């Protein structure tokens, strides 16, 4: 050990101390290199350790057994380790030597397969036996807190060590990494324990004293902004991100400035402050295009920028207008996938950030493509990209426990469930709803964020199996369980579907008119979504049809057609055409009815939409029969019979599943224990979801 160069010892101690896995990639690369060095060093240490153990009289005759075959229990191994290190410390070895030995053993145990966390903790705790200097003491408390937090459930002990690391490190000058890492990790732990009021002042103090350390100042600003976002305090979060953007500009980091501004843009979109979003995104676009740096970082900024643009268009229901941006986004992710991930350390420490790993970005691009395909009515395409995204997620979740992967998974499921209900696969949709319940049951935060969507999906399922009372209960629960003030599009979607339930029930006039006043497409429509406004016109047309006010119904439906054609909303177009065809049939205008129903059937087959196909085939049968077209009438009747059989079989299969009882759940956490699926859905990804 004495032959190791002193500077290398200090480097090893510095880098192997970083157990936290959320270091920036460039920092992580250097840490990994140093860890490899310490691993090799540990092999030499084990050789020396074995040699000393064989000479030691404190172990009962191990001399005849090689170290690799020793069957000592965990306690004996640690005692032997401490005994060896103690002998090093008392024999006059440099302090770095005994510390390095314990640190090396701890890292070896932590990175073993499987990890031996208890042994790692024991080795780190042994450091305190030698009354180390304050720097070593603070760093060891940080290491112990990190290991306990990430690898055990002993959060109280982890918290105690992190609090000590934070307290001691504040008294040591030039000790920024330990000080701010302790603050960051401790605030994260506080949030996990619902001690948000403890996390906020801690982060504020760390931000205040970190202004001379660009990386940590930016990282702590991001962390506090995220905390405010989780609390729905988007105004405070935006203010912090604005402060971060200005700080990044001052320290000469245009890359991180763009990250702050794009993050702020994302929150402004959530707040629907479109007047502030547009100039901000324009500025971001200029910064991204002008920034010259790491190609992967530049492309990741472009992905972030384009994802915001695409989701903005989709929120607005502008499915056709979004296509150029979506195409750019897909090309951008293809470019990133061809770039080598050479983690070159940036010269500016404020640039040590990545928005998302490129594997996560790939899943995100699949996700927004699925969202687009669902809205546009390209349901087979939505299924294709869902399968790709879920396969990628399956691989990632084997190695990565990041919560964002579960969020991606739930959003993908929400969209593919709606696709299945449209294509006539209710049983599979129900099993996937059950899987969403299971995912949400594993994460209270995920359930809080998706409870309304989950009840909405159950409401749509209830409509598909004609359980209207349950559908009403589910939509009412969806409106009740979450604060939808920042999710106006979801609120409008739920209210629109609830209105359709009241129309079909036929006896809920007071409730129906109350809802229709709140989603009047002709006057002060509550959201800017083109798609939802077109759907509101359709609902008005449907009501007028059932009330026999056919001219009024035609006016509303033609407005729906005009809007849906403008943005390629294929499913709304098909529904409007078949309803118009039905109106013309009732009025005796068979030619005009045929002109509506035939393209409706063609479009429904392309989607494919089983309900519209069933409706269209019934109308075609009656139209051709009325016009004396016997062969065509027989062909349409056969189609209608086939669609009826498929839907009936699927209906019976769905209602026979134990998960069908979920339609009765309207309050509290999802009852996954009662209605868990016996077998997964018949898809290639059943094992994942």
Q: How far does CA 313 lie from the centroid of its chain?
A: 20
Q: What is the pLDDT of residue 484?
A: 67
Query: What are the CA-CA distances from residue 175 to residues 137, 159, 168, 228, 629 (Å)?
Result: 12, 20, 10, 28, 88
Closest CA to 242 of 222, 223, 219, 213: 222
455 and 474 Cβ atoms separated by less than 8 Å: yes
What does the alpha-carbon distance between residue 241 and residue 233 come to, in Å, rounded to a whole number? 13
> Tens digit of pLDDT for each residue in 441-466?
988 889 988 999 999 999 999 999 99
Is the pLDDT reported for residue 316 higher than 90?
A: no
- Whole-structure pTM value: 0.79
Q: What is the pLDDT of residue 48?
A: 44
> Tens digit of pLDDT for each residue in 623-642?
999 988 899 999 999 999 99
Joined together, the tokens standing for residue 153 give 């459930």
pLDDT category of residue 263 using cuts at 50, 70 and 90: very high
Q: What is the pLDDT of residue 674?
A: 59
Q: Average pLDDT, stretch 135-164?
A: 93
What does the alpha-carbon distance between residue 560 and residue 537 come to, in Å, rounded to a whole number? 6
546 contact partners, CB below 8 Å, separation of at least 6: 503, 506
> Tens digit of pLDDT for each residue in 231-252?
889 999 999 999 999 999 999 9
What does the alpha-carbon distance between residue 329 and residue 306 come to, in Å, rounded to a whole number? 6
Cis peptide before 114 (omega within 30 of 0): yes
Is the pLDDT reported for residue 52 higher than 70?
A: no
Q: Average pLDDT, stretch 283-307?
A: 91
Is the pLDDT reported for residue 422 higher than 60?
A: yes
> What angle in degrees, to the nearest 10, is found between the helix axes of 25-55 and 74-90?
90
Q: What is the pLDDT of residue 98?
A: 75
pLDDT category of residue 348 using cuts at 50, 70 and 90: confident
> Tens digit of pLDDT for each residue in 65-95?
222 222 234 444 444 444 444 444 444 444 5
Q: What is the pLDDT of residue 253?
A: 93
Is the pLDDT reported for residue 645 higher than 80?
A: yes
Q: Scan for tokens 């880098």, then name that residue.
A: 15
Is the pLDDT reported for residue 14 higher than 70?
A: no
Q: Scan for tokens 């990632």, then name that residue.
A: 396
> What angle in degrees, to the nearest 10, is found between the helix axes of 134-151 and 155-169?
150
The residue with greater pLDDT, 29 or 687, is 29
Is the pLDDT reported for residue 521 higher than 60?
A: yes
Q: How far does CA 492 lie from the centroid of its chain?
A: 23
Closest CA to 375 of 429, 452, 322, 307: 322
What does the alpha-carbon distance between residue 112 and residue 81 come to, in Å, rounded to a whole number? 16
Residue spans of beta strands (DSSP E) within 349-482? none
N-to-C CA span, the chain: 51
Q: Scan for tokens 């009765």, then name that residue.
A: 664
DSSP characters for 622-648? HHHHHTT-HHHHHHHHHHHHHHHHHHH
214 and 253 Cβ atoms separated by less than 8 Å: yes
> Tens digit of pLDDT for each residue in 162-207?
999 999 999 999 899 999 999 999 999 999 898 999 999 999 999 9
Q: Scan for tokens 């077998």, then name that residue.
A: 679
Closest CA to 220 of 183, 177, 168, 248: 183
290-294, 301-305, 663-667: range with lowest mean pLDDT: 290-294
Q: Average pLDDT, stretch 243-265?
A: 95
In degrees, rounded to 5, the angle at the alpha carbon of residue 215 between the alpha carbons of residues 213 and 219 is 115
Closest CA to 269 of 230, 308, 227: 308
Closest CA to 159 of 172, 175, 171, 142: 142
Q: Average pLDDT, stretch 267-276?
A: 87
71-75, 216-220, 253-257, 668-672: range with lowest mean pLDDT: 71-75
Is the pLDDT reported for residue 11 higher than 60?
A: no
Q: What is the pLDDT of residue 648?
A: 94
337 contact partners, CB below 8 Å, separation of at least 6: 358, 362
> Tens digit of pLDDT for each residue in 363-420?
999 999 999 999 999 999 999 999 999 999 999 988 888 889 999 999 999 999 999 9
Is the pLDDT reported for residue 63 higher than 60?
A: no
In degrees, rounded to 5, the angle at the alpha carbon of residue 144 between the alpha carbons of residues 142 and 147 is 105
The residue with greater pLDDT, 624 or 49, is 624
> What angle in degrees, to the nearest 10, is found between the helix axes of 530-546 and 550-566?
160
**What is the 3 state secondary structure string of 193-230?**
CCCHHHHHHHHHHHHHHCCCCHHHHHHHHHHHHHHHHH
3-class DSSP assignment, residue 525: coil
Cβ atoms within 10 Å of 72's Cβ, excluding its own: 15
63 and 54 Cβ atoms separated by less than 8 Å: yes
pLDDT category of residue 9 using cuts at 50, 70 and 90: very low
Q: What is the pLDDT of residue 131?
A: 86
> Tens digit of pLDDT for each residue in 528-571?
889 999 999 999 999 999 999 999 999 999 999 999 999 999 99
3-class DSSP assignment, residue 348: coil
Cβ atoms within 10 Å of 479's Cβ, excluding its own: 17
Percent of the chain's residues with pLDDT above 90:
63
Mean pLDDT of the chain: 83
Q: What is the pLDDT of residue 478?
A: 94
> Tens digit of pLDDT for each residue in 460-507?
999 999 999 999 999 999 999 876 666 888 999 999 999 999 999 888
Cβ atoms within 10 Å of 407's Cβ, excluding its own: 17
> What angle in degrees, to the nearest 10, is found between the helix axes of 570-586 and 590-606?
160
Q: What is the pLDDT of residue 354?
A: 86
Joined together, the tokens standing for residue 363 give 């899943």
Is the pLDDT reported for residue 56 higher than 90?
A: no
Is the pLDDT reported for residue 24 higher than 50?
A: no
Q: Average pLDDT, stretch 348-352?
A: 88
Q: Average pLDDT, stretch 144-173?
A: 93
Percent of the chain's residues with pLDDT above 70:
82
Q: What is the pLDDT of residue 639?
A: 95
């Amino acid at each position: 050990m004495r032959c190791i160069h002193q500077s290398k010892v200090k480097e090893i101690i510095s880098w192997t101390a970083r157990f936290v896995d959320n270091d920036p990639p460039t920092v992580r690369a250097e840490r990994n290199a140093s860890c490899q060095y310490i691993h090799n060093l540990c092999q030499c240490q084990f050789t020396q350790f074995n040699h000393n153990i064989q000479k030691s009289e404190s172990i009962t005759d191990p001399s005849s057994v090689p170290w690799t075959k020793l069957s000592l229990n965990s306690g004996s191994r640690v005692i032997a380790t401490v005994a060896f290190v103690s002998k090093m410390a008392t024999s006059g070895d440099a302090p770095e030597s005994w510390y390095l030995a314990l640190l090396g053993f701890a890292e070896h145990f932590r990175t073993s397969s499987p990890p031996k966390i208890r042994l790692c903790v024991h080795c780190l705790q042994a450091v305190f036996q030698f009354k180390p200097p304050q720097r070593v003491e603070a760093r060891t408390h940080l290491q112990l807190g990190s290991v306990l937090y990430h690898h055990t459930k002993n959060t109280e002990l982890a918290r105690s060590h992190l609090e000590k690391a934070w307290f001691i490190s504040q008294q040591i000058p030039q000790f920024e990494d330990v000080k701010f890492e302790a603050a960051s990790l401790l605030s994260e732990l506080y949030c996990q324990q619902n001690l948000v009021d403890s996390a906020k002042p801690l982060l504020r103090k760390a931000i205040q004293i970190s202004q001379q350390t660009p990386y940590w100042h930016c990282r702590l600003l991001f962390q506090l902004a995220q905390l405010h976002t989780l609390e729905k305090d988007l105004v405070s979060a935006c203010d912090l991100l604005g402060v971060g953007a200005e700080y990044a500009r001052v320290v000469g980091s245009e890359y991180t400035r763009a990250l702050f501004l794009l993050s702020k843009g994302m929150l402004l979109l959530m707040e629907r402050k479109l007047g502030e979003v547009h100039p901000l995104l324009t500025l971001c676009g200029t910064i991204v295009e002008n920034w010259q740096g790491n190609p992967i970082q530049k492309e990741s900024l472009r992905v972030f920028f384009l994802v915001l643009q695409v989701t903005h268009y989709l929120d607005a229901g502008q499915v056709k207008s979004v296509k150029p941006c979506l195409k750019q986004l897909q090309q951008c992710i293809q470019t990133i996938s061809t770039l080598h991930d050479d983690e070159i350390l940036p010269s500016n420490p404020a640039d040590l950030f990545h928005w998302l790993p490129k594997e996560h970005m790939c899943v995100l691009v699949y996700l927004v493509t699925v969202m687009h395909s669902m809205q546009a009515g390209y349901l087979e395409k939505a299924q294709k990209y869902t399968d790709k995204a879920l396969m990628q997620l399956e691989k990632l979740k084997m190695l990565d426990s990041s919560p964002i992967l579960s969020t991606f998974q739930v959003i993908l499921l929400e969209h593919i469930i709606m696709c299945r209900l449209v294509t006539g696969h209710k049983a599979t949709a129900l099993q996937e709803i059950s899987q969403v319940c299971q995912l949400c049951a594993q994460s209270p935060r995920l359930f809080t964020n998706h409870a309304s969507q989950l009840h909405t999906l159950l409401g749509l399922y209830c409509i598909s199996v004609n359980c209207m009372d349950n559908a009403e209960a589910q939509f009412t629960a969806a409106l009740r369980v979450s604060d939808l003030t920042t999710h106006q599009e979801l609120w409008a979607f739920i209210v629109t579907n609830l209105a359709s339930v009241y129309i079909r029930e036929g006896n809920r006039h007071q409730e129906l008119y109350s809802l229709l006043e709140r989603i009047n497409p002709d006057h002060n429509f509550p959201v800017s979504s083109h798609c939802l406004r077109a759907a509101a016109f359709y609902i008005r047309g449907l009501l007028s049809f059932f009330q026999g006010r056919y001219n009024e119904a035609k006016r509303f439906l033609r407005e729906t057609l005009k809007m849906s054609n403008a943005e390629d909303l294929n499913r709304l177009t098909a529904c409007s055409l078949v309803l118009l065809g039905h109106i013309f049939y009732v009025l005796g205008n068979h030619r005009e009815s045929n002109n509506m129903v035939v393209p409706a059937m063609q479009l429904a087959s392309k989607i494919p939409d089983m309900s519209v196909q069933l409706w269209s085939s019934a109308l075609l049968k009656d139209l051709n029969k009325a016009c004396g077209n016997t062969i065509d009438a027989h062909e349409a009747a056969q189609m209608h019979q086939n669609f009826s059989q498929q839907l009936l079989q699927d209906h019976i299969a769905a209602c026979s599943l134990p998960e069908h009882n979920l339609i009765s759940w309207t309050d509290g956490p999802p009852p996954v224990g009662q209605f868990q699926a016996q077998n997964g859905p018949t898809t290639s990804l059943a094992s994942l979801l």
